[in-house]
Amino acid sequence: MVPGGSSHMKHLERMLKVAACAAVLVMSHLDVGAQTLAITQPGPTNAGRNDLIVLPSGLPFLVTQESGVVRAVTCADAVCTSVTSSNAVANLTASRLRVALGADGLPVISISILNNGLRFVKCQNLACSLSSTSILEPGNLGTTDHSLVIPPDGRPVLAYFDGTAGDLKYVRCGDTACVSGNQFSILDSAGSVGRAPAMSLVGGLPQIAYNVDGVSLRLALCTTLDCTSATFKALAAENASHIAAMTARDGSALVAYMADTTSTDSLKIAKCSNALCATVAVTTIDQLPGTSLGIGVRITAGRDGLPVLSYLDATAGSIKLARCTRADCTNSTLTTVQAPTPSLLSNGAANGLAISAAGTPVLAYSQGGKLTIHSCNTRSCQ
């Protein structure tokens, strides 16, 4: 044996192990795994209104609109090749569906109904085969939609548009199921305000972005969780017809919106400089000649905290995904994740967006009258 050979071999083995670990670490930060994208249609017919979350188990949970029925659908695996349960939670037709994970780890569902108010469904098990329903607003809200957020105390808060009165309204639930003690307020009523509300929690308090008179985008900064008072900030002098919001890594509001014009539509980001939104920077993410770019925009934080957006380009008939590579979205990667025959996509196709247990986007949309689940294999869906 060569003198010192045993120690030399051990040293070499340690070096190889370190190199292997470093390679794994590097590969874990890259978009790897180029393979066929998983696009499935797990069964339910669909009217173009969906939302989804990924449960702590890693399984997608969806809320979807069938003909006259809102259903809760639990996938059997991470790419939803089939479903383990499909349960009716409401016999009605929704104009907006939202789903979130409650403080108890069980899903909650909120439902806007054209000309018939706002409902809240509290699932009593993971499959939502048992649930309770609360009527938050029984009256005629006209053309309405809403946003749903669950604060750390577990009491849901909702911002919603009263299309009949032209007001932005707000409710903080008195308990986790919104059964009693609900507190209502009118946040803004000057003109026709509140369409397409989108809400995020900034410093633990709600901030709500919404359309003002069809000509501008405004942010309401609630001073308490009850939001009986708020300050207001102008974000952009544009008709924001579709809006989504999240909290950026620096703790400020980040608002995605479709800038709707007569000739060219754009998908843009309005980024506040701090929690009080002292200044605003607007960045164009995508822009094309024609109309209907940015319909149904959704935004969420990737595993790295950077924004991920999904949206519909109705002119081209495609579902797109934007992955921001900077916190303010001044740089981003755009991917066309689905481009079937344009007529196959519902006009509100880009309805659901979540991040899988693997850190990659999962989308839900309507294609050919079917609920479609699109599971990406990389963080940019490429």
The mean per-residue pLDDT over the stretch 302-320 comes to 92
Question: Nearest-5° angle of CA 116, CA 256, CA 350?
Answer: 60
pTM: 0.89
Contact 370/345 with Cβ under 8 angstroms?
no
What's the confidence (pLDDT) of residue 70?
96
Which of residues 276 and 15 earns the better pLDDT score?
Answer: 276
d(CA 382, CA 378): 6
What's the confidence (pLDDT) of residue 28?
32
The mean per-residue pLDDT over the stretch 139-165 comes to 96
Q: 3-state DSSP helix/strand/coil percent for the chain, to nearest 5?
A: 5, 50, 40
- Choice among 43-57, 148-162, 344-358 with the minimum mean pLDDT: 344-358
Architecture of domain 40-375: 6 Propeller (2.120)
What's the confidence (pLDDT) of residue 26?
32
Contact 307/246 with Cβ under 8 angstroms?
yes
The mean per-residue pLDDT over the stretch 321-332 comes to 95
370-375 and 361-367 as β-strands: parallel, antiparallel, unpaired?
Answer: antiparallel
What are the two backbone dihedrals, phi and then psi, of residue 286, each rounded to the nearest 5 degrees?
-150, 140
What's the confidence (pLDDT) of residue 348?
72
What stretch of H or E contains 204? none
User: For 126-251, where are the alpha helices, taking DSSP H only?
Assistant: none
- Look up residue 369 and give its two tokens: 């009258």
The mean per-residue pLDDT over the stretch 203-209 comes to 97
What stretch of H or E contains 26? helix 5-28
- Choice among 91-105, 156-170, 284-298, 354-368 with the minimum mean pLDDT: 284-298
- Choice among 41-45, 153-157, 225-229, 304-308 with the minimum mean pLDDT: 41-45
The mean per-residue pLDDT over the stretch 324-341 comes to 92
- Above 50 in pLDDT, residue 16? no
Q: pLDDT-derived band of residue 30, with 50, 70 and 90 as boundaries?
A: very low
What's the confidence (pLDDT) of residue 261?
81
- By percentage, how much of the chain surpasses pLDDT 70? 90
Query: In whole numbers, what is the pLDDT of the chain averaged over residues?
Result: 89
CB-based burial label for 151 (10 Å; 0-12, 13-18, 19+): middle
Question: In this structure, what is the dihedral angle of CA atoms 266, 267, 272, 277, given to the nearest 10 degrees?
Answer: 70
Report pLDDT digits (tens) over 58-74. 999 999 999 899 999 99
- The residue ranges of every structural domain in the chain are 40-375
What's the confidence (pLDDT) of residue 37?
60
What's the confidence (pLDDT) of residue 65?
93
Report pLDDT digits (tens) over 240-289. 989 999 999 999 999 999 998 877 889 999 999 999 999 999 999 999 87
